[in-house]
Structure 1
Amino acid sequence: MDKDISKYIQTAETLKVLAHPVRICIVKGLLDNGECNVSHMQNCLNAPQSTISQNLQKLRTAGIIEGRRSGLEIYYRVCNEKAAELINMLLSGEE
């Protein structure tokens, strides 16, 4: 057993951020659709824009997603391969 748990801290932080239904849904939607903006996510999730934005901020801060500005809109995509693999594994067969 490895006594140096510091290398597991980032993994634990990623899991903490993903441990929310809205954030799981956002990441899964981005993986399925590629890039999306907040308006598209708001319509898909039937949730207020503020809820979507708060959850996007947490995902961005954790390095799970990143945004690309196009005019007034920001298009988000998953940039963390480990998080993508985890969500795909957990939700395989859910559709």
Structure 2
Amino acid sequence: MEFDKMQNYDREAEILKVLGHPVRLKIIAGLISQTCNVKKIWECLALPQATVSQHLALLKNKGIIEGQREGVEVYYHVVSKEARRIVQSLFEAPSEP
């Protein structure tokens, strides 16, 4: 591997900072497997709705997730390919030698 001084890693670094919080990491890991609304997320994580909403707002503002309105509910899904790859690589089973 060579070091590329011309390569810009700002976006990747920003994603890593955002994913560095355990709650946000759990949210992304869950949203990779299924689209969910806020109620389902806070019920699954056993956290207050306000806490989950704050984390979702940050993830949305950073372009990692998007929400799609269906009636009165908003369903969230991961749109950042980089975040998806990072989280999936954290939790994939180690390969056998």
Report deviation, 1:30.
0.7
Report deviation, 1:72.
1.2
Query: How far apart in 1 are the matches of 2:52 and 2:91?
Result: 21
Q: Secondary structure at the match of 2:76?
A: strand
Equivalences, count: 91
Could you report, residue by residue, the CA deviation over 1:9-38 in whole angstroms, capped at 9, with x for unpaired residues? 1110011001011001101111112x1000
Q: Structure 2 unaligned runs (5+)?
A: none
- 1:32 and 2:7 correspond: no
Flag as ranges the 4+ runs of structure 1 deviating above 3 A. Answer: none
| RMSD after superposition | 1.1
* Same amino acid, percent of matched pairs: 45
User: What's the counterpart of residue 4 of structure 2?
Assistant: 2
Query: How far apart in 2 are the matches of 1:14 and 1:4?
Result: 20
Query: How far apart in 2 are the matches of 1:3 and 1:79?
Result: 28
User: What's the counterpart of residue 73 of structure 1?
Assistant: 73
Report deviation, 1:3.
2.7
- Higher helix fraction: Structure 1 or Structure 2? 1
Q: Structure 1 unaligned runs (5+)?
A: none
